[in-house]
Amino acid sequence: MPRLRPSTTPDQDDRVVISGMGMIASVGNDRESVWRAVRQGTSGVRRVAGLPGVPEGLSIAALADVELEFPGQLKVIALALHAAAEAIEDSHIDLRAVDCDRFGCAVSGHMGDAGFVPRYMGRPDLFDPDAIDWWQQWFPSTGCWQVATRFGLHGPRTCHSTACASGLIDFLAAVRLIRDGQCDLALAGSAEAVHPLFAAGFERMRVLAHHEDPALACRPFDRQRSGFVMGEGAAMFVVERLDHALRRGAPIYAEVMAGKMQAEAHHLTGVDVDAEGLAYMITETLRAGRLAPDQIRYINAHGTGTQQNDVMETRGIRRALGPAAERTGVSSTKSMLGHLVNAAGSVELAVTTLALRDGFAPPTINLTDPDPECDLDCIPLVGRTVALEHALKVSVAFGGHMAAVALRRWPDCRSAPLERPARAA
């Protein structure tokens, strides 16, 4: 079967679209079941016990359910492969018909296999003698390698470790690889499983929420918010140059209008509550996408539920959008899915993409007592149907990492005319 080769015309289209998605989280094992639960405001947070190495103080989390392929496989890798398989299938790609030398892979880093540590710390009771050799999964890039190898993707490969912005940054890395002409399409995303070191660190930092009712623990933008809940899951995207997607008749969800990264030179874990960096990044993202502030009708916020983050995001969004902020819905789906750390950006971008597809802005659950300093329309308790043409996803991470992606809703290319819609002025 002949392969689709890249265009050689000088004016090669550099527009990039999302043509496939896979997702798994605590509320569902595939893209549509997760989205249905999020639309309904369903919480995946529950009380847990017996997680190996996890402090007793961590009593609640949003855990995803995935079957390991073999004993000792890291759960985070199983989650990544699960979402990647769904994304490939969803994109209707025939891997025999595309040039896999130009099929890239951008999957974020993860905590490597530290299963050997207890043995050397004198805790053989925590060591699994039947597990595979630790070094086979030790590198943070193992998930990226496994995903690319599973599907025979031989194009450029990237793997970023930028804390809670990792998923969004690797998505942007894949888009850049395509626009630079290094590949025609790429598989991009991230995965996360609760890890003892992360859990212990967050507990010591006192950023984890505690509540008698686990489902009520994470309360972004609420006056009574006390932190976030750790979560698990993964999301993967097939991102593709527009002309390549159209030639193969791919189903298209959205166009990537623009994306920007920025950094705060402020503090390793704290945020600049004046939000100058965040406001600048959002403004630059809109400028690059040729979007006016009033064209953004929905923002999926980072929304951790910590005191600093929620105030900072509110101020940054207000500074960037100006008066248009009054007409923009903002929600945090961490209230339902927990904080997926490395996978937060990709899972929340998938939710944002589906919000565009269906014209539905998901809610921020548990928002019963809005903080006056978080005075945006944070879509409390119940989501709403709204005409959405453009949306924005924002991630803010430890280390000062920040990223934003602006998307444009795309009609189903299987039934819509294939003429190229004009960019927003």
Residue whose token pair is 């965040």: 278
Show which of 223, 247, 271 is a domain's final residue: 247
The pLDDT value given to residue 138: 67
pTM: 0.88
Is the pLDDT at 10 greater than 50? The verdict is no
The residue ranking higher by pLDDT, 301 or 195, is 301
Give catalytic residue positions: 164, 302, 339
Contacts of 381 (CB under 8 A, 6+ apart): 41, 363, 364, 365, 366, 367, 368
Q: How many domains does the chain have?
A: 2
Q: Residue 240, SS3?
A: strand
Tell me: the pLDDT tens digits for 36-48? 999 999 999 998 8
Q: Which residue has the higher pLDDT, 224 or 121?
A: 224
Are the C-beta atoms of residues 231 and 62 closer than 8 Å to each other? yes
309 three-class SS:
helix
Task: Please report which helix (H) or strand (E) contains residue 119, including its range.
Answer: helix 117-120
Domain containing 274 — which CATH number?
3.40.47.10
If asked whether residues 157 and 265 sit together in one domain, one would say: no
Instruction: Return the closest-CA partner of residue 164 out of 423, 414, 424, 393.
Output: 393
Three-state SS string across 342-356, please? HHHHHHHHHHHHHHH
Instruction: Name residue, tokens 């793997």.
Output: 159
Pick 262 or 4 by higher pLDDT.
Answer: 262
Taken in order 154, 345, 315, 202, the sign of the CA dihedral is negative
Same domain? 183 vs 264: no
Q: Tell me if 383 is assigned to some domain.
A: yes
Domain-embedded: residue 301? yes
Rounded Cα distance between 166 and 396, Å, is: 10
Q: Which domain holds residue 119?
A: 17-247
| 267 located within any domain | yes
Element housing 85 (H / E): helix 75-90
Binning pLDDT at 50, 70 and 90, where does residue 306 land?
confident
CB within 8 Å of 75: residues ≥ 6 apart: 66, 68, 193, 232
Per-residue model confidence (pLDDT) at position 419 = 39
Most confident of 9-23, 29-43, 48-62: 29-43
What is residue 196's predicted lDDT score, i.e. its pLDDT?
76
Residues 243 and 320 in one domain: no
* Residue predicted with more confidence, 136 or 73: 73
- 149 and 96, same structural domain? yes
Tokens of 414: 């299987």
pLDDT category, 160, cuts 50, 70, 90? Answer: confident
Pick from 199, 214, 247: which residue ends a domain?
Answer: 247
Q: 263 with 383, same domain?
A: yes
Model pLDDT, residue 9: 38
Confidence of residue 330 (pLDDT cuts 50, 70, 90): very high
**266 in the same domain as 214:** no
Residue 143 — pLDDT band, cuts 50, 70, 90?
confident
Report, as an integer, the average pLDDT of 161-187.
92
Chosen domain end from 226, 247, 268: 247
Q: At what angle do helices 276-288 and 307-321 cross, to 10 degrees?
A: 40
